[in-house]
Structure 1
Amino acid sequence: MNPLGYGDPLRLGPYRVLGVLGEGGMGKVYLGRDSSGRKAAVKVLLPELAHDAQTSQRFLREAQAAQAVRGKGVARVLAVETEGGRPYIATEFLAGPTLDSLVRHHGALQEPYVRALGATLARTLGDIHAAGLVHRDLKPSNIVLTSTGPRVIDFGIARPEHGMTLTTTGQTPATPGYGAPEQILGQRTGPAGDLFALGAVLVYAATGAPAYDAGHVAAVQYEVVHGQPRLDALPPALRILIEPCLAKDPALRPLPAQIISALDPPRGAAKLWKQGPVAVEIGRSEEEARRLATFPDADTLVGSTAPGTGAPSRRRFFTGLAAGGTVLAAAGVGGLWWMTGDETPPRAHPWDADRLTDYEQGKAPDPLWGPQKTPVTGGVDLLVVRDLIILDTRSPDLIAYSVTDGKLKWRAKDVGWPALYSPSVDLLLAKSVDELYGVARKTGERLWSSPVGIVTVLALAGDVYYYHDISGDYRVPGEVVALRVTRSGSKELWRKPIPFGADVDDLEAAAAGDRLVLTARERGAVALDAANGEEVWKVSRKSGETWLPYVAGDTVYLGGPSLRAFRLSDGKPGWSEAASTNSGLSVGAVDGDHLYLVAGGQLRCHRRKDGSKKWARVLQNPIQGRPVVSGDTVWVSSSLGTEGVKAFRKSDGEPLWTLQKGQEAEGSAKIAGAGNRVFSFRDGKLTALPVI
């Protein structure tokens, strides 16, 4: 909420204007209240656009589109009028956070909420399509969560079902990552385009991350048209329901009624919005809305007071709100009202850093913070989880620091390592000698422990944790076990004998969706069904050595003397690329349409579609661990500490700078990256570095 400024109206028709809710490319949105106390969001066309016939037509079409929809899933239009030559639309004021703001500040929704959300949105899209319209801009910031359920807003680019795209050359047809491939290509966009957007919305709600995220608009749009959505973090039960919505071919996407039936929301789903953390935020919004509705009517000047009361004026009151005095500005959810659909997109997350725009090639930039001395003296692994950087100390403790300033947030004692993070249940998992621990991501509190015996951790996909149980007879290869984890505990789903026979000491794994892929160097690879552990497909040992599997989308990449791509669902072979070095070749990171590979002392960039090499850079010594991609940079750490950490430009492999080169240190630096930062840990010190 912002205070009224110079030129803002004090009244629009029957509505007394209380403050500014938002401003976009076409209009400004005010909070209004009529004489009965009813609140409205009043959207007014900007003065400089009011005389443009095409813009005015689009503006008024928004109101007509919303009025045509019969259903409670949209914000009702209360009035369409003109004031001072400027048209305005008054719509129902919705008290509640947007889906975008709720997820950004509180993390992914639990599965029952996602199912209820998806069913309601599918029903609302059915109502919109029944009115002969296509919304064409469904996205998290256009969905408001209220105590009566989710509501869809902003019909700014809605069109009749038979209508063509509104865009002209150089314009973006919809929000990047949510517009369907046919919409991006300027083709006719029918109801199936909204179902694609629904799939992308549900991925964001269920995982806390976009289905398509490649750094900048053009790359995201390219990924939507030619790439694969990022669905690895989806719980398997949701993935099989959501993935069809993201089909490239509109004809293959399900209908709203099919989505509602498949999601099968829990009984009493309508009550979900009145309980739990979501209800708390909705309640805050409703309470603030009540306060606004009872605010005094005095039309006073800035700095004055209501006669005889000493009460501040409306303008001064909202200036105070903007300064952070109330939940409107400071609560973090920031979604008491709906905004215009034309606003500049915010950062992906509020804790993300700004990228470097001014840097000198060959000279390492100053750290964002650090080096921060830590109580850790030995080796660590780094795990970036939302607004935290977690030191997995290879001891019984986990230590979390803020990504923004390096301040200590919490220390979880006696929970073991390594640490894995499940975004679907917002839970960290750590393994001690014979116990598995569930740790609260926000606080480090130990929530539960489960006995698991002597195990080797394999993988985590969504809320399913896989491990290799070697606590039995040493003469047998042991078992692979699947556990479903929640915030209250774990439950064993299945256990199966390791499929490679005895004497397996090089077992590696990768998991996503409904597949677990296991490799054992000279014994090939096997993919298991996540639901029951049954073998689905395999790669023969005769095909050569296989190691370090890596899953991205519906492809699993198997490292070895040749890097090979297979379809994850059924094992259909794709391309193969020879390593050309004795060290073999393996995938270290995937970003958009490119793979970043490690081959001994080489860092290589290859194209995902055919495995062809785009560029390669050679280090003096082998690379330690996986490369880290953040922003437009890719970073590697040498296995020899004195060679340091090197940063390269992602697009062409151009060397940018080297950190810590020539310093005497114990071993190499460990690195991790996210949110436009790269973190380096060396000699017990943690440093946050900027990216371009």
Structure 2
Amino acid sequence: MVLLLAWHESLQGRARAWTRATMQTALRLVAVLPLVCWMWRRIWQELEAREGDIDFLGRSIPFLREEEMRSLDGGSFLGSGGNDSARLLQWGGAPVVRKEFHHDGELLFMMREARLMLELCGTAGVPRPLALGFQPLTVIQEFVGEPYDKFLMQCSVQGVLRSLDQLCRRLGEVHAQGVVHNDLKVDNITVSGSVHRPVLHVIDLGWACCTGRVAGNFSLETGEEDDFPREGLGAECHWMAPEVRERRSVFASGDVFSLGFMLQQIADSCIQPWLAVPLWRLGKRCAREEPSCRPCLPKVTRALAALRRGLLWHQLQEPFLLMVRQ
């Protein structure tokens, strides 16, 4: 009888221990399950979004046939990069930019850039895509003004400082949409309007991505490996933030780095030391290697305003003098 009772108590103890272990495992699973479900749902949504690019773009803009593409030959050459070239031409009675990609392997990048341009819907003066072509890969987009460096050569010191203030606000508009440009430089800024009332436009979203993502990484978004060569990952692209070149997650601070690099370039070309020196110092603070050490855009805006207030009236009215004018 004693042995039977002991055996019964042993069974009860094992059952209690097994129940406790089972409950603890179940609780762990319950705690982790929402996170797992969220991750799979997000991955599925991203895959669906990328798979739906053609449908999304097809509902918004026309796809041009091969004969329609041939009718768009000609125009004046605007410039060329490692992945595409641009020409200015007339289409439907209005000036447009024809952006043609050099490689057929750029299809994913072209569709992604076109979709992002559509979703931003003119934010920060980003040009809207008007049509797409696939033979060759081409985006027809709005023409949004002349190069920024051409504008700089025509305006006063006050005009330069005001344009930099506007550029900071334009970048802030992009960041407010959860997007980081990643390729900010003088070549990717245009100006419409007059010298006295300029409107700045941020262009070329080929490297842009959502905040917290890796620039140029499409493996999660498309389910495909990123096998296509992209210009800009080399050490020679100094205007890009280190985290962009090193394929780390990017945030708004990456565009602050590029802005700082551009400020230093402008300062290096300026022959007015009372402007060049403070601009260069501000650019150096923005272009620090560590993202957490860079100032945020509102602080950059305040620093530019303080610089403008610190200059004399006649200094602000002086033409902005660059070395190329010499």
Same fold (TM over 0.5): yes
Q: Does 1:34 align with 2:91?
A: yes
Distance 1:234 1:248, change over 3 A: farther
**TM-aligned CA distance change 1:19 to 1:237, over 3 Å:** closer
Match of 2:233 in 1: 173
* 1:366-405 superposed matches below 5 A: none
Change (3 A) 1:171 1:145: closer
Q: Contact 1:134/1:158 (CA < 8 Å) preserved in 2?
A: yes
Structure 2 residue aligned with 1:242, among 264, 283, 295?
Answer: 283
Tell me, yes or no, if structure 1 residue 196 matches structure 2 residue 237.
no
Partners of 1:118 and 1:198 within 8 A in 2: no
CA contact (8 A) 2:75 2:87 kept: yes
CA distance in 1, matches of 2:281, 2:262: 15
Shift of 1:61: 1.5
Q: Which amino acid is the alignment partner of residue 204 of structure 2?
A: D
Tell me, yes or no, if the aligned pair for 2:83 and 2:231 is still in contact at 8 Å.
no
1:92 aligns with 2:133: no
Alpha-carbon separation, structure 1, partners of 2:303 and 2:124: 20
**Alpha-carbon distance in structure 2 between the residues aligned to 1:63 and 1:11:** 19
The 2-side partners of 1:30 and 1:238 are apart by: 33
CA distance in 2, matches of 1:165, 1:77: 21
Alpha-carbon deviation of 1:152? 1.6
Distance in 1 (alpha carbons) for counterparts of 2:166 and 2:110 = 26
Q: Aligned equivalents of 2:278 and 2:211: distance in 1?
A: 32
Q: Deviations over 1:452-499 (max 9, x none)?
A: xxxxxxxxxxxxxxxxxxxxxxxxxxxxxxxxxxxxxxxxxxxxxxxx
What are the residue-to-residue correspondences of 1:186-585 with 2, within 5 Å? 186-208=247-269, 235-239=276-280, 241-264=282-305, 442=326
Match in the other structure for 2:202: 152
| Residue 172 of structure 1, CA deviation | 3.5
| 8 Å Cα contact 2:239-2:257 kept in structure 1 | yes
Residue equivalent to 1:184? 245
- Structure 2 CA distance, aligned partners of 1:133 and 1:253? 18
TM, length-normalised to structure 2: 0.59
Conservation of the 8 A alpha-carbon contact between 2:123 and 2:174: no
Query: 2:230 & 2:71 partners in 1: Cα distance?
Result: 40
Deviations 1:486-535 (A, max 9, x none): xxxxxxxxxxxxxxxxxxxxxxxxxxxxxxxxxxxxxxxxxxxxxxxxxx
Shift of 1:191: 1.4
- Residue equivalent to 1:161: 211
Offset at residue 153 of structure 1 (A): 1.2
TM-superposed CA distance for 1:137, in Å, is 0.7
The answer for the alignment partner of 2:51 in structure 1 is none
C-alpha separation in 2, matches of 1:70 and 1:122? 19
- Counterpart CA distance in 2 for 1:153 and 1:21 is 13
Superimposed CA distance per residue, residues 607-647 of structure 1 (whole angstroms, 9 cap, x where no aligned partner): xxxxxxxxxxxxxxxxxxxxxxxxxxxxxxxxxxxxxxxxx
CA deviations on 1:73-120 (whole Å, 9 max, x unpaired) are 33321323235x444212221332342x666xx59x764233212211
- Cα distance in structure 2, aligned partners of 1:93 and 1:18: 13
Distance 2:265 2:67 in 1: 38
Q: 1:76 aligns with which of 127, 135, 141?
A: 127
More strand per residue: 1 or 2?
1
Match of 1:134 in 2: 180
Look up the equivalent residue of 1:181 and give its one-letter code.
Answer: P
Contact 1:203 1:234 in 2 (8 A): no
Contact 1:70 1:131 in 2 (8 A): no
Asked if the contact 2:189/2:201 (under 8 Å) is kept, the reply is yes
SS, match of residue 79 in structure 1: strand
Which gives a bigger RCO, structure 1 or 2 (Cα 8 Å, sep 6+)?
2
Give 1:136 shift: 0.8
1:607-686 alignment runs, 5 A limit: none
> 1:97 corresponds to which letter in structure 2?
P
Q: Which residue of 1 aligns with 2:222?
A: none
Secondary structure of 2:110's counterpart equals helix
Letter in 2 for 1:91: Q
* Cα deviation code 1:228-273 (max 9, x no counterpart): xxxx986454355433212222112222222223322869xxxxxx
Assess if the C-alpha contact under 8 Å between 1:69 and 1:127 holds in 2.
no
Q: Compute the RMSD of aligned alpha carbons.
A: 3.7
SS at match of 2:124: coil
The verdict on how the C-alpha distance between 1:239 and 1:205 changes in structure 2, with shifts beyond 3 A counting, is closer
Task: Please point out which of 69, 81, 84 is paired with 1:12.
Answer: 69
Match for residue 25 of structure 1 among 79, 82, 91 = 82
Q: Counterpart amino acid of 1:263?
A: L
8 A Cα contact 1:78 1:90, kept in partner: yes
Q: Identity over aligned residues, as a percent?
A: 24
How far does residue 155 in structure 1 lie from its aligned partner after superposition? 0.8
The separation in 1 between residues aligned to 2:76 and 2:248, in whole angstroms, is: 40
TM-superposed CA distance for 1:195, in Å, is 0.4
Q: Select the residue among 100, 117, 121 that pairs with 1:44.
A: 100
Contact 2:263 2:280 survives alignment (8 Å): no
Report the equivalent of 2:167: 121
Deviation at 1:199, TM superposition (A): 0.9
Question: How far, CA to CA, are the matches of 2:281 and 2:84 in structure 1?
Answer: 40
Work out the CA distance in 1 between the residues paired with 2:297 and 2:133.
36
Residues 143 and 237 of structure 1: CA distance in aligned 2, closer, same or farther (over 3 Å): same
Q: Distance in 2 between matches of 1:170 and 1:125?
A: 23
Closer/same/farther in 2, CA of residues 16 and 240 from structure 1, 3 Å limit: closer
Structure 1 residues 170 and 30: alpha-carbon distance in aligned structure 2, compared to 1, 3 A threshold: closer
AA partner of residue 180 (structure 2): V
State yes or no: 1:65 paired with 2:127. no
C-alpha distance in 1, partners of 2:231/2:116?
22
**1:139 and 1:10 mapped to 2: Cα distance?**
35
Distance 2:86 2:70 in 1: 14
Change (3 A) 1:69 1:233: farther
| Residues 294-317 of structure 1: CA deviation (Å, up to 9, x unaligned) | xxxxxxxxxxxxxxxxxxxxxxxx
The answer as to whether partners of 2:264 and 2:279 remain within 8 angstroms in 1 is no
Q: CA deviation at 1:197?
A: 0.4
Number of the residue aligned with 2:221? none
With over 3 angstroms needed to count, the CA separation of the structure-2 counterparts of 1:26 and 1:172, relative to structure 1, is closer
Structure number with the higher helix fraction is: 2
The CA distance in 2 between the partners of 1:206 and 1:254, in whole Å, is 19
Cα displacement string for residues 166-213 of structure 1 (whole angstroms, at most 9, x for unaligned residues): 38899642762211223333322221111010011122223317xxxx
